[in-house]
Every structure is written in C-alpha cells, then in structure tokens.
Structure 1
Amino acid sequence: MEIIENISQWMDAHLVSSNIAKYLIWALFILLAIAFLRQFLRKQLPDSSIRYKSQKAVEIFGYIILAIVTISFFTGSIKDFGLAVGFLTAGITITLQELILSIAGSFYIFFVGVYKPGDRIEINNIKGDVIDIDSIYTTMMEIGEWVSSDNYTGRIVKLSNAFVFKGPVYNYSKDFPFVWDEFNLPIRYNSDIELAKTIVVQIASETLSEYVSQSISEWSQVVNKYYIENAEVDPTLAITMTDNWIQFNLRYIVDYKKRRYTKHLLNELIGKAIQKTEGKVQLASATFEIVRVPNINVKKD
C-alpha cells in the first residue's frame, strides 16, 4: 500500500508540473503575440493617432486574455487552452478589423485589377492619380477640389484599401482611357447658322482626329469584353433654341488627362474662326427686352 501511495504522489507531482509548463508556454505565446502585433502596427500605420489606438487595443485585449487564462488555470474551469487562443484570436480580429479588411483589399486590388499605379480613379469622393499601392494604403495625387478641372492640388492622399469593399470605384483609364466631354456655344439668332455649324464641326473634327482614331480600336475591345452597345466617338453637334440665343452643344471624345487643354484649344480655334466671318456669325450674350416703359410725371416748382 505504501508503494502505491508513493507512485500516486509521484504521478500527481509530475502532472502538476506538466500543467504548469503548459500554462507558461501559452502565457509566453500570448505575450509574444502582443509584442509582435505592436511592432507590426508601429511599422505599418503612418498615422500616429491610429497607430497609438491600435497598439493600445491589442495590448488591452492581450492582457485580458492572459488574465482569463491565468484565472481559469488555477480554478480549473478551463482545461483546454485552445479555447483561450480562440478568445485571443477573436479579440484581435475585432480590434484590427479595419486593418484586416485593408490587407484583404490589397489582395483584391491586385488579383482583380481594380486599379494600378498610374490610373486616375475616384474612390470615397476623392479623385486623383494612383502613385502607390501597398498592403494597407492606396496613395493618390489629388486632383480637383479648390482648383478647376482636373489639375493637381499638390496634396498626397493615403486611403485605406478597405474602401474598395465599401463603395464604387471610378476608373478613368482602365480598359478605355478616354472620356466624353462637351461645352456649349451661344450663337445669335441673326447669324448664319449653317456657317456656324460648319465652323464648329470642321474645327472639332480636325482637332480631335487623333483621339477619334485611337478610341475606335479601344472602344471595340470594350464592346467585345462587356455587355454594352457601340457608341459614337466622332464629334457631334446638337442645337437648342433658347429665349436669348441658339445654343450649340458640342460633344466629343478626348484623352482623360487632356480634357482641360482640349477644351481650351477648341474654344480658342472656334473663337478665332468666328471673328474671321466678319459678323456673319456672332456670339450671343444675355439680353433684356423692355416691354413697356412706365410713365414718369415730373412736377416743376
């Protein structure tokens, strides 16, 4: 009986030692996971505020899990430490869901080809040229905002890759690097309308011929790839009768990066051609017609 008791005591002592070793291993794993995640966030997140909050959240969740594991071990209510690891993983996932979504977004951008460096995109109401894509952020050179048309503002914008899952992404250059643009031209009623039409269409056709020829082959590829009908890429002119003038609406296709310059060039060339008509074609401006002049009685003392 004494021998059996000694063997039982020896087995109990070794079993306790084994459990303690298991606890120390898991505690060390949790502490190393906290340190690794803090170091990873310090390198990957450039914004100091987000970096600080993320590191603190990881630290707090890690220590909570460590406390649960410690209490559970000594009370004996949890025998499977895998459950504690599950709690730790769930806590980290909730805390870093934005970071995880950003990393998933980077894979989505790369494999699906949503956009690439050099593309002009609009995402989350921010428009610009993509200059870099990393595992967390898309970096853009901003255009628009307080400057007119598609000029650079000079601001560099870092946007989370998670936004590719949260809303539409407008790509100006993927598959079809052209856009349609238009402008209105007011012509007076007593002008030679046929001459005005000839001037506008001829200048537009000559100026935009290169864009038209390039866009034809590009658009045919778009039609073959997507369920979309063929479109008119040649310059078109629509006329509208208004109260004050005849409005010419010129619609044309242009390289997405040369929209502003092309509109300036068309306005300049059409303006010079109209001046050479010696009054046959005149640009209109807002006019006011006085229908009735009220009677004014003036009394002289």
Structure 2
Amino acid sequence: MIDINALNEWIDANPFLISSLKFIFILVIVLVTIQLVRRYLKRKISDTVIRYKAQKGIEIVGYVLLVFLAIVYFSGSIKDFTIIIGLFTAGLAFTLQELILSIAGSIYIFLVKVYKPGDRIEINGIKGDVIDVDSIYTTMMEIGQWVSSDNYSGRIVKLSNAFVFKGPIYNYSQDFPFIWDEFNLPIRYGSDIDLAKSIIIKIASETLSEYTANSKAQWNEVVNKFYIEDAQVDPTLAISLTDNWIQFNLRYIVDYKKRRNIKHILNDKIRLEIEKTNGKIVLASTTIELIKIPDINIKRDADVTS
C-alpha cells in the first residue's frame, strides 16, 4: 500500500518537480487540443486557401497561449508578468538571436504582407514559389538552377524568415502578377522590313491580347498605389542595325507563370509566318564576307631544278 503521509512529504519536498509535471500535463492538453482543432478544420473546410489560413491561425494562437501560460504559471502571479517578460526576452536575445530574428521576420511577413503562400519570389539568391510560411521558416519550391527558364528543379527549400531583414525580396506576383519579357529576331539585310514588322506585331498583339487587357487594369492600380510612372503594356518592337543583320527586339507583357510557354508560341508562330513569305523575309545567321583572296605563288620542284 502507498503511504499517504510519505507521498505528501515527498510532494512537499519537491514543489518544483510537481509544478513542472502539472505544467507538462497542461502543455499536453493544449497541444492535443490544437491538433484536434486542426484536423476538424481540415475535414470541414474545403477551400484550400481558407483551410490553410485557419490552420495556421489556430497554430499561432496555441503557441501564444502556451507562452502566456508558462510565464503566468511559473511567475506565480500576473503582477510579475512584465518583469518575467523582460528577463525572458533578455535571455533569448543573447542566446537565440537568429531564432528571434526568424520569429520577428514571420511577424513582419504576416503584418506587412511581404509575400504569402502561392507567390513567386526571389530571396537570398533563391527563386521559387512559396508553399508555406511558418513561425521560423519559409518553404519554397525551387525554380531554375540546373534547369532552364522558370521550371521547377524539384527541390524544396527551407529558408529562415530572418532573411527578410538582410536583403532585397523580389516578388513576381504581388500587386502586379505580370512581368515584361523580350527576345531578339535577326532579319537578313535585303528582306522586306516593313512586312516583317507587321507580321511580328500582328502575331504578338493577337497572342498576347488577353494578358495585355488584364494587365492594363492592374497596372493602373499599381500606378495609383505607388509613386511610379505609367508604362507601356502593349507589345513593342524596336529595330537596331548590326554588322550582320537587322535585329528586331520584341518586348511584351505576360503572366509570370507562363513566360516560357508564351515565348515558345511567339517564336513558333513568327517562324511559320516568315516561311510563308517565300523568301521576302529571311532569318539571318552569322556570316563572313571575303573581300579579297590573296595571291598564292606555288613553286614546283621541276621549276626549281630547271
């Protein structure tokens, strides 16, 4: 049988241990409750975006509650809350500087809306689509590296949220989900330049009409929101003369996720139309023009001996 008096004496002799066990019990209850609520929301909410935000909100509230309970529980009184917070912050600032900066970065990302899941960003030299933002890390699906253009590399990158304070952040999709792109077309001298211009502009205008129309409205919102000059969103063509060909530079606006595919479509359509001109327009390539062939004197052995 258990000696009640001995048990009470042991409890009285180890108050901190008993207090810690009680807090661990409370901690387990709170964590289990968070997980149950997250699972309930996952089953009940069908919309992916709303479900993600709701689960993250419950997670953040749970962590804040745990910190509050820990401080109040071990301080013994709510009146000591400010003192405990000061000591706690000073200790963390000294030992966990990077972790605190990461947590501060997550708060900054959330409040200022630097980026959110679904955005395409470039930060600390890494480009990719944001797939998750938690209290410490930003998780990205990487783009580029050993693959060309804007294709996924297949690697998932976890980046400390502290990097939002350490360098520039390039956001491809926030406020204005379009980017300008361009490519060059070399046209041989002697080609019908006016015909070439009309073909390229016509194809670009028809292919990009949807992006141009959608981008105009959103660009007006950007101009009204920020101190920025108006810009040309319709396809434009610039011509420059080189030593070997006439260079056509086509500049246009496109959805940031469809840059590679649209460039392929434009190049293919322009190629097909140029082939239909029956030689009036010829794509150029690097050429070498020989101005004069030098005279070469060859002496045979028979000529020398004679």
Distance 1:196 1:84, change over 3 A: closer
The answer to whether 1:142 aligns with 2:142 is yes
Cα offsets for 1:8-54 (capped at 9, x unmatched): xxxxxxxxxxxxxxxx99xx69xx7xxx9xx9xxxxxxxxxxxxxxx
2:224 matched residue in structure 1 = 224
2:181 matched residue in structure 1 = 181
Task: Note the C-alpha offset of 1:91.
Answer: 4.4
Q: Give percent identity, aligned residues only.
A: 71
Structure 2 unpaired stretches of 5+: 1-13, 28-82, 302-306
The answer to whether 1:100 aligns with 2:82 is no
Task: Note the C-alpha offset of 1:187.
Answer: 0.3
Task: Note the C-alpha offset of 1:92.
Answer: 3.4
The one-letter code matched in structure 1 to 2:196 is A
2:190 matched residue in structure 1 = 190
1:14 matched residue in structure 2 = none
1:201 matched residue in structure 2 = 201
Cα offsets for 1:193-224 (capped at 9, x unmatched): 00000000000000000000000100010011
Distance 1:217 1:106, change over 3 A: same
Residues 178 and 253 of structure 2 are in contact (CA less than 8 Å); yes or no, is this contact kept in structure 1? yes
**CA–CA separation in structure 1 for the residues paired with 2:249 and 2:271:** 15
Cα offsets for 1:229-268 (capped at 9, x unmatched): 1110000000001110000000000000000000000000
The answer to whether 1:156 aligns with 2:134 is no
1:122 matched residue in structure 2 = 122
SS in 2 for 1:100: helix
The answer to whether 1:260 aligns with 2:260 is yes
SS in 1 for 2:221: helix
**CA–CA separation in structure 2 for the residues paired with 1:89 and 1:219:** 44
SS in 1 for 2:208: helix
**CA–CA separation in structure 2 for the residues paired with 1:86 and 1:113:** 28
**CA–CA separation in structure 2 for the residues paired with 1:178 and 1:85:** 45
**CA–CA separation in structure 2 for the residues paired with 1:113 and 1:86:** 28
TM-score by length of 1: 0.71
1:264-283 equivalences under 5 Å are 264-283=264-283
Task: Note the C-alpha offset of 1:84.
Answer: 12
The one-letter code matched in structure 1 to 2:139 is T
SS in 1 for 2:163: helix
**CA–CA separation in structure 2 for the residues paired with 1:85 and 1:124:** 33
Distance 1:239 1:167, change over 3 A: same
Distance 1:196 1:171, change over 3 A: same
Cα offsets for 1:64-117 (capped at 9, x unmatched): xxxxxxxxxxxxxxxxxxx99978764432221000000011010011100000
Distance 1:204 1:139, change over 3 A: same
SS in 2 for 1:251: strand
Distance 1:198 1:85, change over 3 A: closer
Cα offsets for 1:145-202 (capped at 9, x unmatched): 1110000000000000000011111000000000000000000111000000000000
Task: Note the C-alpha offset of 1:289.
Answer: 1.3
The one-letter code matched in structure 2 to 1:271 is R
Residues 98 and 162 of structure 2 are in contact (CA less than 8 Å); yes or no, is this contact kept in structure 1? yes
The answer to whether 1:233 aligns with 2:233 is yes
Task: Note the C-alpha offset of 1:293.
Answer: 1.8
**CA–CA separation in structure 2 for the residues paired with 1:140 and 1:84:** 37
Residues 186 and 285 of structure 2 are in contact (CA less than 8 Å); yes or no, is this contact kept in structure 1? yes
Larger Rg: 1
SS in 1 for 2:139: strand
Distance 1:299 1:221, change over 3 A: same
Residues 92 and 100 of structure 2 are in contact (CA less than 8 Å); yes or no, is this contact kept in structure 1? no
Structure 1 unpaired stretches of 5+: 1-23, 40-82
Distance 1:145 1:247, change over 3 A: same
2:38 matched residue in structure 1 = none
**CA–CA separation in structure 2 for the residues paired with 1:184 and 1:238:** 9
The one-letter code matched in structure 1 to 2:273 is A
Aligned residue pairs total 230
Distance 1:121 1:84, change over 3 A: closer
**CA–CA separation in structure 1 for the residues paired with 2:292 and 2:245:** 22
Q: CA RMSD in A?
A: 2.6
**CA–CA separation in structure 1 for the residues paired with 2:90 and 2:147:** 46
**CA–CA separation in structure 2 for the residues paired with 1:174 and 1:84:** 40
**CA–CA separation in structure 1 for the residues paired with 2:86 and 2:172:** 44
